[in-house]
Structures are given as structure tokens and as C-alpha cells.
Structure 1
Amino acid sequence: MIERWGGTMLMNEADFYNSDTTAEMVKILNEGFERSGAVIKAHMERQPEVVATIPFGPKILGTRKRWKDQALESRCITEVMHETEREDILPVLTYKFRERQQKLRNKLLMFRFKNYHKIDEGKIEDLWPEFREMKLDRRLIQATIGFSVLFWQDEEMFKRFKKFLKKQQKELKEERAASFDGGIVKAIYELRDIPHTTPGDIADHMEEEQNYKEVSHQKIGKHLKRLGLKTKAKKIGGKTERAIPNDKKQIQRVFKRYIPDYEIGQEELQ
């Protein structure tokens, strides 16, 4: 449908509880945020023939909570909606609302017709320094810098958009910090004075300081790999144990991603 009709896909109640459906939709949404993405599947009737579909295009998703898939969440511009307190909006919308809605749609469509050829994709190169100065995640920049090309000339709008992105960045980092991986990174940071930090050290610290229950060394090891902190065998106290290598660049990269700035010294970020 996306490939055939284009336009903006509106999906309300986009909370998928069936695991197969969730995996399918997450794949479409993850691949569909940039032009080069594609979803390749085996043809249902003519196997082993494969079918490639192009899911690229703008999408508006209404959900009750954030996505569990962090890769997908980082590709979204999230706005948390609240119940309105305006008395001029009826609890049941009438035909008058739909008429005003149609007028607004028509105005927006006319705006697109008038400005379609004014959009310069090459402006992204000029905007890149401003985005870089905000120290946003590259994924967040990737998902939003193209959108900002639409209104970069409106100084006030662009200022508001940058403020929104900083808020989005803060929320993403706080969510990561609250995750299990975030707990591991926090433990590594708090144990940073230990010469060789082992999965056992991290597990014990998380149980003692973060109130986690029965954290196994094996589980910590698996999550460390996901974080790009693959352990290596070392001689520690006369015994051979696996410990995090002293790769300062990679460790600091993980700190930046998972630890809010107010918890980390500036010297750790440089």
C-alpha cells in the first residue's frame, strides 16, 4: 500500500501484541524511514521467488506507549499527547469540525504545490554543522535533518524544532539509562577505578547498588557484547577471568549513549 499509493501512512492504535505482527511492522517501519530501504520477503505462492517492496514515506503512528524496539524509537519523532482542557473543543466532534479539517487539508496541499520545487535536499550539508553542535545521537539526526529542510528558513520554527530535538535526545538517553543495559553501563562507570572490571563485578554491583535480583555473570556477558564491550581473558589475582578491555574510546562512547550528562564528568566525555 505504501509503495503503490505513497502519501502519508496514518496508523492509529499501533500497539502490536502479536509477536509475528510486531516483527513484521517493526521491519517495515525501520526500513521505511529512508529512501534506500526495502523489505524483501518470499512470495507466498511462488516460492522461492522473492518480492521486494519499498516502505519509504512519512508515517504518523498513534500508540499508547513507546516502542520496545529502541532502534525504531530512535527513528521516530515522539510527541506525548495529553487530554485537552480547552472548553471550545467538544468531546464529540461534529460535521463542523470535519469541514474545518478539510479546509486545513486543502491549505496544506496547496502549500505543498507552491513550495514543492523550493525544497533543496542539498541544504542538509549546510544544516549538518548546526545539528552536530547539538551533540545529538547520529540516528536522531539521520531521522530528522531531512525534515528540517522544509522550514530551516523560518528562524523561529527552526529554533523551536532544535529545542524539541534536545528534549527528545534527553528522553531517549533517560530511557536507555533506565534499561538493563543502562544499569550495566552505570555499574561500569561507578566501578571505573577498578583496573579490570569483570562481569561478576558488574553483577554484584547491580545487585548491591541498583536492587537487581540474581543477575548472572553469563547474562552480563551477553549484554556486554551487545554494547560492543566484548570481554577478554586476563590474569586477575592469580586466576584467569574475563574482563572488559581498557578500550577508553569505546567505553566513553557507551557512557555518552547511556549516562545522562549530569551524571558524568566532562573529562569522561572528551
Structure 2
Amino acid sequence: MTQKTPKPVEQTRKIVSEYFLSGVIIETVYDANTKQTSLAYLKNGQVTVAASYKTPEEGKLEPIPASNNLIKHGALIFAEKPASYQSVAKLITDVQIYIYRYVDISDHFRKIASYYILLTWVYDAFNELPYLRLRGDFGSGKTRALFVIGSLCNKAFFASGASTVSPIFHTLDTFRGTLIFDEADFRFSDEKNELVKIFNNGNVRGFPILRTAITTQREFDPRAFNVYGPKIVAMRKSFDDPALESRFLTEEMGQSSLRRDIPINLPDIQKIEAVALRNQLLMYRFTMLTTIKINESLIDPSLSPRLNQILIPLLSIIEDEKLREEIRVTVRSFDQKLYAERSSSIEAGVLEVLKDLYQQGKENSIPVSEVTTIFTERFSAEYERPITARIIGGVLRKRLRLVTYKSHGVYVLPATEKTKVDELCIRYGVTEREVDE
């Protein structure tokens, strides 16, 4: 009797989104009427929606089921199916009309928000991203704006300050979508610190957050959570960290009275309009993802490297040069504010002294005591306590990260640090940044 060889079991893997080097793009879609998820995919220029997708390498791919708690409760939203759009310009116009109908924000920010929505659908083509923020007191309309704008974003995940941070880590890592976060002003410092970690690590690819879980065997299980992706937040105040603040493009809410044509309560048609636009935006992803890339010619030498880094992805998908310049002007004002704050700091005063000493021909090592004497003569009236050589030495080593060493019984700044001092003078606004004409 011949024994039959058992048929190999087909491998099945649940996915949210995939992009293969062959050019195949796969995205999970959700039909609210049937309450079912499917896979929409682009292959050989053709778009198909099916229950699964088979690959020779990975076997059968299936979507995250609609029974997923986040999908079931509407905390995570998908497109329903890919839908054709007339042109990118027409799509942008339709998005701006939708936002204008339900939200009272400035014309300038509405344009930025519309392009940011597009960016969320192709963000994985870039390695750095800016964030969007709506800031204002209660009753200023920031939550309404957050919901209306967020409803068009790629795999939007809605959360609030009442949420614990742990599920945010897991959701961002699993779905790789857009975090829409309301009331980002956490009351408790430990929760706020965790949220700040997400924002600090989440705008640059390749910087996951490491957290440790305990297995059922009581063993420590370190895990990396990928939190990279677009984020839109609403909050009342600002973050304490200026570096984190520089990642946000911000709209100040409640600066004028509410337009009378905006409905107090969102009508049911808003959801229908949002679904229709999400469907077109999914098609935008299918047709544009492989063609979009960084346009390095858009780098603005008058901006700091950090701001250029986060702005270029957004500017690269904007075709309106006037809007590009408006965004640069908006961000430039933040850069100038940051320079102003730095230039009034004790670090800037120390750098000013060092700059003058170098201009006077100081080529050798500079004693810290000499820096202290000149600094005290110029700035002692601005400080309540005496400025000692120990304080100046701490500023040089701990804040400015400059090297000092002891020579003949006194601490000195070596001549080899001059290049670093020159760079720090530019960063702190002591020396004007050179801009090529």
C-alpha cells in the first residue's frame, strides 16, 4: 500500500500594510457596512481588493481581522477601498474644502494640514517627519480640528491624555499609522515622560523605543517598539524641551471668533465625506509612493539643520512654491525665537567671551579663570549670585561639551576646541549664520 505524502500546511500571516521590492503595495481596508477587513493591493498597475494575498516567499497574507478591538470601536480607521481621483491638485482642493466646511483655522494652516494629510499616506518614503499641532485653551476648537483632520489620515489612531501610554506603544508598533492625540498635556510626570519619548523618537526612522516585559516564566523580555510615523496633537500649552518644540508645525486656536457657517455638531455626512476622501488618498498612496523622494534643492540655509531635516519631506510633496515659502517663514520665526533664548543664556555669554578672546589673537590655550574674569565684568549684574570659575568650568564642560584640562595648576580650554567654539557661536546666535546668496 502506497503511503501518501501529507500536503504541506500553507503558512498564513496577518498583516496591516506591506511594500515589496517587486512594486506590490498591500493595504488593509475596512468596510463599515459588512464589518469586514480585506486587503487592497497594487500589482502590475492593477488595483484589487480581496480577502487575502498569496506570495511564493511568505505564503498567504490576510488582513488584521475586523474583530480587533481598536477597529471595532473606531479608535483606528482605514480606507474602505481605493477610489480614483482626478489629479493631486484636485485632491488637495477637495481636502481643503472638507476641512474648511467643519473647522475654523487659518487659511495658511489649512493648506499645511491638507498637505500633511497627503504626507501621512506616503510618510514611509522618508526618514524624517515633522509633527502637526493644534494649541489652545478649552473651547477653542482644537479637538474638533483634530478629529476632522485626523479622519483623513493614513491608519489614524485616536487616543487622548486619559489613555495610558503602553497601548500607544503597541498600536504604533503594530499598525504603523498616524497618531491623533488629544489633550497631550499629561498631569503626571511619569506618563508625560513616556509620551515625550514617543515624540522624541517618533519623527526619525530607526530609533525604536526599548521596553522590557515579563514573560509567563517570569523572565525579562526586552522588546523594541517602532514609534516612527506622522503625529497630530492637540494641547493647551507647550512642551518644556525646545528641541521637541522644534518638531511641531503649530496652529494657535481660538485667536478669533468662530465662523457662523460651521456646524456646532458634526453632521453624519462628515463621516461619509471622510471615507470618500480616504479612499482617494489610498489610491494616492498606490500611485505616488514609489515616485516620491526627498528634494534636497529645497534646503534653506537660513534654517537650522534640525528644522531643514523635518521640513524637507513635507516641502517635497508640495508643488505650490508660495506655500513652501510661507511654511519656511513660519518655521523661521521659531528658529529666531530659539536663537533669542539661547543668545540670552549663560552659555551664549561664555561663548561671546571666547569669541572675543580668539579675535584678539589668543591662539594658545585659554585659562578658565580669564574667561571667568571677563564674563563677570560684562554680565555679573544679570545674576543674583557670584559667578565663579567652577560655574564657568561647568558651563564649558557639561553644557557646551567642551574639553578642559589642568595645566600648571590651572584649568584651560585647549586651542584644539576653537573649531567647536566657532560652531557653537553660530548655534547660540553669537555669530550670524552665513547664508549663500
Cα 1:93–1:258 change in 2 (3 A) is farther
Match among 249, 259, 266 for residue 88 of structure 1: 259
Q: Secondary structure at the match of 1:159?
A: helix
Measured after TM superposition, the shift of residue 187 of structure 1 is: 4.7
1:160 aligned onto 2:326: yes
Task: Return the match for 1:248 from 393, 396, 418.
Answer: 418
Please state how far the C-alpha of 1:60 moved relative to its aligned partner.
1.6
Matched, 1:146 2:319: no
- Determine the C-alpha separation between the residues in 2 that align with 1:87 and 1:17: 29
SS in 2 for 1:129: helix
Which amino acid letter does the alignment assign opposite residue 22 of structure 1? K
* Contact persistence 1:202–1:220 (CA under 8 A): no
- How far did residue 39 of structure 1 move? 0.7
Name the counterpart of 2:250: 79
Distance across 2 between alignment mates of 1:103 and 1:206: 65
Give the gaps of 5 or more residues in structure 2: 1-170
> Percent identity of the aligned residues?
22
Q: Please state how far the C-alpha of 1:77 moved relative to its aligned partner.
A: 2.2
Q: Give the match for residue 241 of structure 2.
A: 69
Counterparts of residues 42-61 of structure 1 (less than 5 Å): 42-45=212-215, 46-61=218-233
1:128 and 1:80 map into 2 onto residues whose CA distance is: 26
Q: Is the 8 A contact 1:184 1:202 kept in 2?
A: no
Aligned to 1:128: 296
Task: Please identify, of 204-213 and 35-44, the stretch whose mean Cα deviation from structure 2 is larger.
Answer: 204-213
Question: Given the alignment, which residue of 194, 205, 221 partners 1:35?
Answer: 205
Q: In the superposition, relative to structure 1, how do residues 245 and 163 fare at CA in structure 2: closer, same or farther (>3 Å)?
A: same
Residue number in structure 1 paired with 2:189: 19
> Does structure 1 retain, via aligned residues, the 8 Å contact 2:208–2:226?
yes
Q: Counterpart of 1:115?
A: 284
* Unpaired runs of at least 5, structure 1: none
Query: What is the match of residue 336 of structure 2?
Result: 170
- Alignment deviations for residues 221-245 of structure 1 (CA, whole Å, 9 cap, x no partner): 233223232223346xxx6333364
Against the structure 1 CA distance between its residues 29 and 247, is the aligned structure 2 distance closer, same or farther, given a 3 Å change threshold? same
Tell me the TM-score normalized by structure 2.
0.50
Q: Tell me if the contact between 1:188 and 1:197 (Cα under 8 Å) persists in the aligned partners.
A: no
Specify which structure has the bigger relative contact order, considering alpha-carbon pairs within 8 angstroms and separated by 6 or more residues. 2
Q: CA 1:256 to 1:50, structure 2 compared with 1: closer, same or farther past 3 Å?
A: same
Structure showing the higher strand proportion among its residues: 2
Compute the displacement of 1:170 (Å): 1.8
5 Å-filtered alignment, 1:214-229, equals 214-225=386-397, 226-229=399-402
Larger radius of gyration: 2
Q: What is the SS of the residue equivalent to 1:66?
A: coil
Q: Specify which of 388, 403, 420 is matched with residue 230 of structure 1.
A: 403
Q: CA shift at 1:253, angstroms?
A: 0.8
Q: Residues 61, 110 of structure 1: CA spacing in aligned structure 2 closer, same or farther, 3 A cutoff?
A: same
Q: Secondary structure at the match of 1:20?
A: helix
Matched residues in 2 for 1:47 and 1:206: separation? Answer: 59
Indicate the structure with greater helix content: 1
One-letter amino acid of the structure 1 residue matched with residue 259 of structure 2? D
Letter in structure 1 aligned against 2:281 = R
Q: Which amino acid aligns with 2:298?
A: E
Contact 1:233–1:243 under 8 Å retained in 2: no
Distance in 1 (alpha carbons) for counterparts of 2:353 and 2:212: 44
Report the TM-score, using the length of structure 1 for normalisation. Answer: 0.75
Partner AA of 1:147 in structure 2: L
CA distance in 1, matches of 2:367, 2:274: 58
Q: CA deviation at 1:216?
A: 4.2
The change in CA–CA distance for 1:212 and 1:118 in structure 2 (over 3 A counts) is farther
RMSD: 3.4
**Cα separation, 2, equivalents of 1:101 and 1:60:** 19
Q: Does structure 2 retain, via aligned residues, the 8 Å contact 1:119–1:150?
A: no
Once the two structures are superposed, residues 120-164 of structure 1 have per-residue CA deviations (whole angstroms, 9 ceiling, x without a partner) of: 57631xx22331x4332222222222222222x222322322322
Moved more, 196-205 or 62-71: 196-205
After superposition, the Cα gap between the structure-2 partners of 1:64 and 1:182, relative to the gap in structure 1 and judged at 3 Å, is farther
* SS of structure 2 residue aligned to 1:36: coil
Q: 2:368 aligned with 1:201, yes or no?
A: no
Residue correspondences, number? 255
8 Å CA contact 2:404–2:414 kept in 1: the answer is yes
8 Å contact kept, 2:292–2:317: no
